[in-house]
């Protein structure tokens, strides 16, 4: 069944949702785009998309759900509007400067059909790691480390690797500043050889019987000279990036690689797409969108779209506002711990049931 969605926004990130519809027309139909600037209208014209003049026009079109790819400052008003109209909405992100602002908004829209497009757990290699961590092969998992992306994105992945929900951690953190060769940005490739200041942040979330550790350097995900690192430790094994090691029995350690199976290489003419990820003689992850030619992040965004479509039809929530608020709340505690040099204990908030 094709899911019909309206899109608010025409920025860089909004383009990922547009491409999901373009590359997977059997799954998604873009009904139109709400934008107000001349630049936005020009982008909508490039997309051959209908332009909505206002929110009421979206509601009149009766999409299955709305995707809002807007700045954090615009989220609250849109959340109130769609909550009042009982329209399922997925925000590209949610950010707030304070617990007070999240609490006030939750009092107004708590229980509304709101999800957040947290795509990182859906990226193929992260999805394969999460599947492996939960398979039992590592035994009880008690530690997960991440060094690939900042704040709530990392926490969303770490929680899933540890298979924990809304538990309240003791937070420790510190920050520092270093210098690193400049790399690519959203604007394009580097144009000169220069060093730039980069902010670093390390944190430890102590959940008692499990711990999540983060280590991120600003713009690390775009740097050519900083490797992403993910480690998961369990009682009987571990994952280190794409390598899994575990004990089959007390005298038999087994090691295997999470191997990407890619079409279109070495003379293969099937197409240019990821088939999936294999490990230990099995498929750990299968790409549901082949033969579409998609980046890993585009695959992950499409998975959010699929999950939102299922949710709008009455299915399970996949990253509701409660989880988004909790992960961002922990991020605020990380900032506080880093700024003060003191450990901070998370406490129960309104959105925790």
Domain residue ranges of the chain, discontinuous segments joined by +: 3-116, 121-296
Q: Are 33 and 22 in contact (CB under 8 A)?
A: no
What residues does 30 pair with on adjacent strands? Answer: 5
Cβ neighbours of 248 (radius 10 Å): 11
- CA count, 13 A, side-chain hemisphere, 127: 23
User: Which of 197-211, 217-231, 301-315 is predicted least confidently?
Assistant: 217-231
Other C-beta atoms lying within 10 Å of the C-beta of residue 142: 15
Give the integer Cα–Cα distance in Å for 113 and 238.
37
Q: Check if CATH label 3.30.200 holds for domain 121-296.
A: no
Question: Minimal CA–CA distance to 207: which of 168, 246, 162, 174?
Answer: 168
| SS3 call for 89 | strand
pLDDT digits (tens, 9 = 90+) for 250-288: 999 999 999 999 999 999 989 999 999 999 999 999 999
Could you report the per-residue pLDDT of 33-91, keeping only the tens digit for each? 999 899 999 999 999 999 999 999 999 999 999 999 999 889 999 999 999 999 999 99
Residues 6+ positions from 110 with CB-CB distance below 8 Å: 321, 322, 350, 351
- pLDDT given for residue 149 in this prediction: 86
What is the predicted pLDDT for the residue at 60? 97
pTM score, whole prediction: 0.94
Helices (H), the chain: 14-23, 38-46, 55-61, 75-84, 99-109, 124-134, 151-162, 296-312, 321-340
Cα separation of 353 and 347, whole Å? 13
Report the percentage of the chain scoring pLDDT > 90: 84
As a whole number of Å, the end-to-end CA separation of the chain is 33
CA atoms within 13 A on the CB side of 124: 26
Give 150's pLDDT tier (boundaries 50, 70, 90): confident
Q: What does the alpha-carbon distance between residue 30 and residue 25 come to, in Å, rounded to a whole number?
A: 9
Q: Where are the beta strands (DSSP E) in 123-242?
A: 141-147, 170-181, 195-206, 211-217, 229-234, 237-240
Which pLDDT belongs to residue 225? Answer: 83
DSSP reduced 3-state for 201: strand
CA–CA gap between residue 164 and residue 151 (Å, rounded): 17
Architecture of domain 3-116: 3-Layer(aba) Sandwich (3.40)
């Amino acid at each position: 069944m094709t899911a019909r969605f309206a899109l608010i926004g025409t920025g860089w990130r909004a383009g990922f949702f547009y491409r999901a519809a373009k590359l997977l027309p059997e799954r998604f139909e873009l009904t139109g785009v709400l934008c107000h600037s001349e630049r936005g209208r020009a982008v909508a014209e490039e997309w051959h998309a209908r332009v909505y003049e206002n929110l009421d026009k979206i509601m009149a079109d009766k999409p299955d759900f709305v995707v809002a790819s807007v700045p954090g400052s615009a989220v609250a008003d849109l959340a109130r509007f769609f909550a009042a109209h009982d329209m399922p909405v997925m925000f590209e992100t949610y950010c707030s400067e304070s617990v007070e602002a999240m609490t006030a908004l939750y009092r107004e829209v708590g229980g509304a059909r709101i999800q957040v497009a947290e795509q990182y757990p859906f990226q193929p290699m992260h999805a394969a790691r999460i599947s492996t961590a939960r398979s039992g092969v590592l035994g009880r998992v008690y530690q997960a480390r991440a060094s690939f992306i900042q704040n709530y994105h990392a926490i969303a992945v770490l929680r899933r690797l540890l298979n924990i929900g809304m538990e309240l951690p003791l937070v420790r953190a510190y920050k520092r500043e270093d210098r690193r060769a400049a790399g690519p940005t959203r604007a394009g490739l580097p144009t000169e050889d220069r060093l730039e200041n980069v902010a670093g942040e390390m944190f430890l979330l102590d959940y008692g019987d499990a711990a999540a550790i983060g280590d991120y350097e600003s713009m690390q995900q775009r740097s050519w000279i900083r490797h992403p690192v993910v480690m998961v430790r369990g009682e009987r094994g571990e994952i280190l990036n794409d390598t899994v090691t575990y004990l089959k029995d007390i005298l038999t350690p087994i090691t295997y690689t999470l191997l990407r199976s890619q079409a279109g290489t070495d003379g293969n003419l099937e197409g240019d797409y990821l088939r999936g990820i294999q490990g230990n003689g099995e498929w750990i992850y299968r790409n549901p969108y082949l033969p579409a030619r998609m980046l890993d992040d585009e695959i992950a965004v499409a998975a959010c779209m699929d999950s939102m479509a299922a949710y709008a039809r009455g299915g399970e929530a996949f990253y509701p506002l409660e989880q988004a608020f909790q992960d961002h709340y922990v991020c605020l505690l990380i900032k506080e711990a880093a700024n003060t040099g003191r450990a901070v204990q998370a406490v129960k908030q309104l959105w925790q049931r």
